[in-house]
Structure formats: C-alpha cells, structure tokens
Structure 1
Amino acid sequence: MPIELPALPYARAALEPHISAATLDLHHGGHHRGYVDEANRLLEGSGLEGLALEDVVRRARGRLAEQAAQAWNHGFYWTCLSPRGGGEPGGRLGELLARQYGDFARFRDEFNRMALGLFGSGWVWLVQRPDGSPGIVATRGAATPLTGADTPLLACDAWEHAYYLDRQNARGDYLEAFWKVVDWEAVVRRLR
C-alpha cells in the first residue's frame, strides 16, 4: 500500500500567530510531501510494499528507512499540535511529569535544554518508557523512538524547516511558540 500524506488536522492558518500558514505550507506541503513521495519511490521493489508506514519504519534500512521515518515523524508531529493547545497537562500525565522532573516547569526546561543542545537537525520527544515512566529523548536526523521500546507521546521537530520562515535560526523562539500549541489531550491519549 502506498504511503499517503495525511491531511493536517486543522486549517493551515489555525496555529497562527505561533506557527504561520506559510511555515505549514512549506513544512507539510513541501518537506513532508517530499518524504512521502521519496519513501513511495524507494518502497517499490523493496518487499515492504504492503506494510503500514509504522512497519516500514521498523523494518526498512538505509535511505528507505530514513524517508519513511521522516514521513512518520512528521505525521505524528502534526497530531501533537492544536490551535486549542498550550498550557500544562493535568491528570495522570501531569502527575508522571511532576514525579519524574519535579514539576512541569522543570520538565519543560529539560525538554528545551535537549532541543537547544541538539546539534544540527533532529527531533525531541516525550516518550513513555516500558516501565511507564516518562522520558525525554533527542534524536538526530530521521531517527525515531518508534523503532525502540519507548512509546512516543510528543514530538518537537527541531529541523530548521520547522521554524526558519517564522523565526530564522532562533530555535529558542520556536520552542516558546511550540509550547503554546502543544495538544496535551492528544499526548494523554497515547499514555499506556
């Protein structure tokens, strides 16, 4: 089955003023579409053609693995954002973060530290470990926790195309905007 570019779960201008429609056009319609198209091209004759995208990511190697992972990472990223997002998570997730990091502010500081310390392009993830505890993972390039034992809960795209149009090279400013549109309800639904 071919990999498809998922539609954004909100209107292209819905995240403004935090993330612009122009950035979404470039990021979703350009970069994400490019990963999907290239993954589909590489999928032909790979023996993995009938698999779901998640399974392609887990089983592929080389360039197909990279392109499929980027397609999956981006599709997941869009579901982490909402025009009604922001604030702090409550309930079980809030309790898990407080237990692991002391409070939400310390969690956010650690997440930002990881994102700002990531040299080059990549992703920063809130994951749930197999023991149920939360963790923060930074991955380079197309790497994704989907291929390991952790359950991805939240993704922050730290590639420049996620913020360059809006913020030039100011990753810290992008992170401030990111926190204003995080969809905590979606994150909570992913908890095991």
Structure 2
Amino acid sequence: MTIELPALPYPRNTLEPHLSAATLDEHHGSHHRGHVEATNRLLEGSGLEGLALEEIVRRARGRLADEAAQAWSHGFYWTCLSPRGGGDPAGPLAERLARQYGDFIRFREEFTRQALGLFGSGWVWLVQRPDGTPGIVATRGGGTPLTGSDTPLLACDVWEHAYYLDRQNARADYLEAFWKVVDWQAVGARLR
C-alpha cells in the first residue's frame, strides 16, 4: 500500500494572516511531501508494506521509523488547525485542562514554555494519558507519542520550516499565531 500525501483540510491561504499560503506551500508541499516520498522508498522490502501509516510508525525502526513518524505527524498537525480556530476549548477538554493545569491560560503558558524550551527541532503535543488526564509532551526530531501509550490530541510543529518564511527565527511569534488557528473542536473530539 502506497502512503499518500493527504490534502490540506482547508484552502492553503485560509490560515492567513497567521500562517501564510507560502509557508503552507513549503511546509506541506515540500517538507511533508518529502517525508511521504521517503517513507514509500524505505517501505519497499521492509516487511511493513500494506500497513496503515500509524501502524508503520509503531513497528518501524531506523530511518523508516523517522520518516514515517514525520509523515504521520505532519498529517496530524494539519488536522489540528482551522481557519475558524483559536479561542479557548470547551466541554470535556476544557474541564480536563482546568483540572490538570488550573485553567486554560496556565495550560497554554506551559505548552508554550515547553515549545520555546525545546532545543532544536521537534514537536510539542497535548496528549491524553491512559488514565484520561491531559499532559504535554515535547519530542525531538521525529518523535511522536503515537509510539507510546498516550493518545495525541494536538500537535505543534516547532521545526523551523513551520515558521521560517513568515517569522524567520521568531519561534515565540509563531506560537502566538499557532494559538489563533488551533481547531479546539477537532482536538476535543479526539478525547477517549
């Protein structure tokens, strides 16, 4: 089974002014596409052909594991964003974040702190722990909580290509923009 590059779930210019169409073209059309193509090349002869991408991420080792994880994480990232995003979460997600962090503001501050503190490239995730509580996980490189027991709810790509065209090296500015397009409805729908 060939892994396909998923289409963006919205037109490429609809996250503007927070994330530009040029950034999405480069990020989705070049970086994400490159991980999908590399995964397909490395998949040949691996014994994992025919598996869904999530299962490849869980079973693969070495470079195939890295490329497949990046392909999956990027596809997941796009589903965390929306032109109608931003604001605060509601319902059970908001309640769980308030119980765990005190309130949404404190959660957001901690998530942002971890994203700014991640040395180099990687991802920051809101996850649901096996006991149902929310947590924040920072992973380096292509690391993903998909390979552990946590359920990913929200991903923030903090690789430079996610923001360089719009903001150069200003990761903090990118994070401010990120919060304005988070699709809290999609994030909340992932709760188990």
In the superposition, the TM-score normalised over structure 2's length comes to 1.00
How far residue 68 of structure 1 moved from its aligned partner, in angstroms, is: 0.2
Describe the SS at the equivalent of 2:24.
helix
1:51-87 deviation per Cα after TM superposition (whole angstroms, max 9, x unaligned): 0000000000000000000000000000000000000
Quote the Cα distance in structure 2 between the aligned partners of 1:141 and 1:177: 22
- Who is 1:138 aligned against? 138
Who is 2:95 aligned against? Answer: 95
Shift of 1:156: 0.1
Cα shift at 1:162 = 0.1
1:184 maps to: 184
> Which amino acid letter does the alignment assign opposite residue 179 of structure 1?
W
Q: Distance in 2 between matches of 1:38 and 1:176?
A: 31
Match of 1:165 in 2: 165
Q: Distance in 1 between matches of 2:184 and 2:92?
A: 11
Separation of aligned partners in 1, 2:27 and 2:90? 30
- Opposite residue 101 of structure 1, the aligned amino acid is Y
The runs of 5 or more residues in structure 2 that have no matched partner are none
Tell me, in whole angstroms, the C-alpha distance in 1 between the residues paired with 2:90 and 2:184.
Answer: 9
Q: In 1, distance between residues paired with 2:166 and 2:61? A: 34
Secondary structure in 1 matching 2:2:
coil
Tell me the CA shift for residue 108 of structure 1.
0.2
Could you tell me which amino acid in structure 1 is paired with residue 91 of structure 2? G
Q: How many residues align?
A: 192
Partner of 1:40: 40
Give the structure 1 partner of residue 152 of structure 2: 152
Cα distance in 2 for residues equivalent to 1:46 and 1:101? 43
Mapped to 2, the partners of 1:143 and 1:112 lie a distance apart of 18
Residue type of the alignment partner of 2:152: P
Please report how far the alpha carbon of residue 90 of structure 1 lies from its aligned counterpart in structure 2 after TM superposition: 1.0
**Structure 1 unaligned runs (5+)?**
none
Q: Secondary structure at the match of 1:142?
A: coil
2: distance between equivalents of 1:188 and 1:20? Answer: 25
Identity %: 82
Matched, 1:14 2:24: no
1:127 is paired with a residue of what secondary structure? strand
Q: Which residue of 1 aligns with 2:75?
A: 75
**Structure 1 residue ranges (4+ consecutive) displaced by more than 4 angstroms after TM superposition:** none
Q: Residue 64 of structure 2 aligns to a residue in which SS?
A: helix
- Paired with 2:97 and 2:188, the residues of 1 have a C-alpha distance of 12
Give the deviation of 1:143 after TM superposition.
0.4
Q: What residue in structure 2 maps to residue 116 of structure 1?
A: 116
Q: 1: CA distance between counterparts of 2:130 and 2:96?
A: 14
CA distance in 1, matches of 2:53, 2:46: 13
Letter of the structure 1 residue corresponding to residue 34 of structure 2: G
Taking the aligned partners of 2:91 and 2:60, their CA distance within structure 1 comes to: 37
- In the superposition, the TM-score normalised over structure 1's length comes to 1.00
